Structure 1
Amino acid sequence: VYHIDLSISNNESKLPIHYAAKHGSTNVLNFLFQSNLTVYETDIHGNTIAHEASEYNQIDSIKLIWKMHRSLFKKKNHFGRTPIHTAALFGSSKVLHYLLELNIIDIDQTD
């Protein structure tokens, strides 16, 4: 039996949950959602798991995060960007279209 501390971050304050979102590992994300970890942790730039998934166009991660933790989509990073800003900035078209179709995002909100 191995014991892994899932709350240890790297030099950018990224946790395993950030990497799961970034790489579209929805099985890992689901597992981490069910553990006692906080999903609201940010990296050194203030990015949440929703920002990570948005930057890397990980639509499956985005859908799961939306289903489980919708409030993350209103969080701004240290640059004033929400996940939809991040998707637009990095050309993450699948994520951008999905978030726009939800019709819950204020597209006039500035960063």
Structure 2
Amino acid sequence: MSIQRLRTDPRLSEVVIHNGTVYLAGQLDENLSEGIEAQTRATLDSIDTFLAEAGTDKSRILSVTIFLKNIDDRDGMNKVWDAWVPAGQSPARACVEAKMYSPDLLVEMTVIAALP
């Protein structure tokens, strides 16, 4: 079976497709001056973009891992997340506190989704 890699550079591929499954690299907001809700919104927009490029969408997400700089931001992140996830299509999900590469990065997400 072939492996398709999209938006690849020497360090990583933003999207990897294999055996009907789409894997997204850690998605995050490029504007780190924003708060948790804005960073979450931008991160989810990025996920939508990459899933569409791979030929799928958020209704087919199987699993998400959410990394928060501060677990106390969970309520703000969940407010945006809950409005974004299609009703009845909630994926398996983990949400953990993590040390981020930048002190201004508040949220990062990795995604696994199915192709139609």
Q: Compute the TM-score of the two structures, normalised by the length of structure 2.
A: 0.32
Q: Which has the higher contact order (CA 8 A, sep 6+)?
A: 2
Structure with greater strand percent:
2
Q: Compute the TM-score of the two structures, normalised by the length of structure 1.
A: 0.33
